[in-house]
Amino acid sequence: MKILPNPQKSENISGSFVLNDNSMMFCDAEFMSQAERLADLVYESCGFFLQFTDVISDAQIIFAKDAQFAREGYVIMINQGVATVTASEASGCFYAVETLRQIFCLDEKQHQIACADCYVEDFPRFEYRGLMVDIARHFFGIDALKQIVDIMSQVKLNVLHLHLTDDQGFRIQIDKYPLLNEISSVRDGSEVVRDGETIIDDIPHSGYLTKQQVKELVDYAAERNVQIVPEIDLPGHFAAALAAYPEFSCTGAVSEVRKRWAASKELLCAGNDAANTFVKDILDEICEMFPCKYVHLGNENTPKDRWCNCKLCRERMSELKIDNFDELQTYLIETFRVHLLQRGKTVICRNDGLTATSDKHIVSQVWTPVKRRSARKTQSERQIIVSLRGRLHFSRSYKRLPLKRVLRTNPFKGVRKSDRANVLGVEGAIWTQHITTEQELFYQLLPRLDALAECAWGWRGKDFVQRLQNRLARYEKLGIPFNGKYSRRAAHTDSDEHNK
């Protein structure tokens, strides 16, 4: 069986199974939409519709509910002429259909479906299986994002994390502050390398997601068991917003949406109550748009020169009786965390900005190595999402980050055995400073996204590259760009890389 990501358990049984235009389906009412989805896939592949029956003994495909199954888990038993799918909830059933799509070869044209009898028992090892897409540096619209959701759901990834804001752009509609869209979503030029020289071009770049588009995307993703995690990056990486509302920065000076990629020194003022309210208002609209229980607040370690020279920030520090700027950042994030908690949200932050006093309910996205003992302690008491930039940041070239390096990511590396339950999941990331087209975006993502899925689902198997071939054939058929180096049909396949 060539199933990707590798299932927790699978085995062939002697015997074979055939599905043709006389075959019928019996379905538990709760799973009807998934059964219909399978019927559509069979129609696209074979040109006939599977009929539904109320008599279970007449059915060749059975969808049954069993409340005992693990979350998102399922069992497929194909034996004695009948394929039985069992799950406890719709998400498990969704994934069973994705597995059947692979077992039945439904991405290929055929007259009827024939396969060997088999048994698959499967559930994810990690509940959070994500991909972050940076749409702030370069904007990618709803069509590209829907296509990413499609691809993710087929390999059982379930979180699309959108990096919506940064120094170089603010890319989400906020009604209360219209200048965030009018000014902050437009950049007059970008840093590019031309003839070996780094320059700022004068080509404007703009775009943002409207509320209507967000709703469309959230609904589209929900049908595919994918949640959208929104990120408003704070307190640094916020210069695009401050370009429109400079009164919430420390200096109050008017700046522009940043054209260079290096982080701006502009920060949200931590001592100004009005600046605090500004962010809370933005977060309120974010909460209305995104039903997901997580909101990401960025929280990278950023240059704090502005805070250092700001009267209001210094007053806030003496009021709080704190003596360093990292703690001031911790205070600010805590204010927003409490605000979001009242709206039922859990906050995710990048690990490098967390301190020993950061609230333990903040989920840490570990993207920089955690070496120091004190930093490890900060990690060990909270849930973590493994997102190491040396392994899971797909903006890197394939030379620097080959497929096998993604595949061999061990989410438990450096985590004490007693802390393993804290590993909430795994997330890949694609930063778009130097990715300007959809062609480049998908090329960088695929097939590293498939390797991410193998790692995040959690039951890494043998022969990954062999199992990958059907995925590559599908990308090719749909005209989605990917790195063809890993195709077995490619003349220059680098076989060494795939040897275990």
Q: What is the C-alpha separation between 6 and 253, in angstroms, rounded?
A: 54
CB-count burial class (<10 Å; 0-12, 13-18, 19+) for 495: exposed
CB of 315 to Zn ion, least distance (A): 9
Which of 85, 250, 332, 451 forms a contact with Zn ion (CB under 5 A)? 250
Closer to Zn ion at the Cβ: 164 or 310?
310
Q: Using the rule CB under 5 A, is 403 a contact of Zn ion?
A: no
> Which residue, 42 or 332, has its beta carbon nearer to Zn ion?
332
Q: Which is nearer to Zn ion, 257 or 269 (CB)?
A: 269
Residue type, 343: R
Looking at 123-131, 134-142, 250-258, 278-286, which segment touches Zn ion (CB under 5 A)?
250-258
Which residues 471-500 are close enough to bind Zn ion by CB under 5 A?
Answer: none
Least separation in angstroms between residue 271's CB and Zn ion is 5
Residue 313 lies near Zn ion (rule: CB under 5 A): yes
Pick from 159, 269, 297, 362 the residue near Zn ion by CB under 5 A.
269
Nearest approach, Cβ of residue 331 and Zn ion (Å): 12
Taking the complex as a whole, how short is the minimal distance between the CB of residue 283 and Zn ion, in angstroms? 19
Shortest separation between residue 253's beta carbon and Zn ion, angstroms: 12
Dihedral in degrees, nearest 10, Cα atoms 9, 15, 21, 24? -60
Taking the least distance from each CB to Zn ion, the nearer of 51 and 309 is 309
Instruction: Supply the minimum distance, in Å, between the C-beta of residue 277 and Zn ion.
Output: 15
Bridge partners, 200 (sequence order): 191
Cis omega before residue 303 (within 30°)?
A: no
State in Å, rounded, how far the first CA of the chain is from the last one.
19
Residue 258 C-beta: closest distance to Zn ion, Å: 19
Angle formed at CA 441 by CA 435 and CA 444, multiple of 5 degrees: 100
Check binding of 310 to Zn ion (CB under 5 A): yes
Quote the CA–CA distance of 243 and 253 in Å, as a whole number: 9
Is 271 a binding residue for Zn ion by CB under 5 A? The answer is yes
Q: Are 377 and 397 in contact (CB under 8 A)?
A: no
Nearer to Zn ion, 313 or 362 (CB): 313
Measured from the CB atom, is 155 or 310 closer to Zn ion? 310
Say whether residue 174 binds Zn ion (CB under 5 A): no
Please check whether residue 145 is in contact with residue 438, taking contact to mean a CB–CB distance below 8 angstroms.
no
Instruction: Give me the least distance between CB of 492 and Zn ion, in Å please.
Output: 55
Cβ proximity to Zn ion, 269 vs 415, nearer residue: 269
Count of residues in contact with Zn ion, rule CB under 5 A: 6
Nearest CA-CA partner of 382 in 396, 365, 405, 399: 365
Cβ of residue 279: shortest distance to Zn ion, in angstroms? 13
Smallest gap from Cβ 311 to Zn ion, in A, equals 8
Q: Binding mask 10-29 vs Zn ion (x if CB under 5 A, - otherwise)?
A: --------------------
Which range, of 20-28, 46-54, 243-251, 481-489, touches Zn ion by CB under 5 A? 243-251
CB of 312 to Zn ion, least distance (A): 5
Q: Which is nearer to Zn ion, 208 or 336 (CB)?
A: 336
Applying CB under 5 A, which part among 2-10, 66-74, 237-245, 267-275 lies near Zn ion?
Answer: 267-275
Gyration radius of the chain's alpha carbons: 24
234 lines the binding site for Zn ion (CB under 5 A): no
Part in contact with Zn ion (CB under 5 A); list of ranges 106-114, 152-160, 208-216, 242-250: 242-250
The interface region with Zn ion, picked from 229-237, 262-270, 343-351, 438-446 by CB under 5 A, is 262-270
CB of 314 to Zn ion, least distance (A): 8
Q: Which of 105, 312, 320, 473 binds Zn ion (CB under 5 A)?
A: 312
Considering beta carbons, is residue 250 or 415 the nearer one to Zn ion?
250
Nearest residue (CB) to Zn ion, 132 versus 268: 268
Of 94 and 278, which CB lies nearer to Zn ion in the complex structure? 278
Which residues of this chain interact with Zn ion, rule CB under 5 A?
A: 250, 269, 271, 310, 312-313
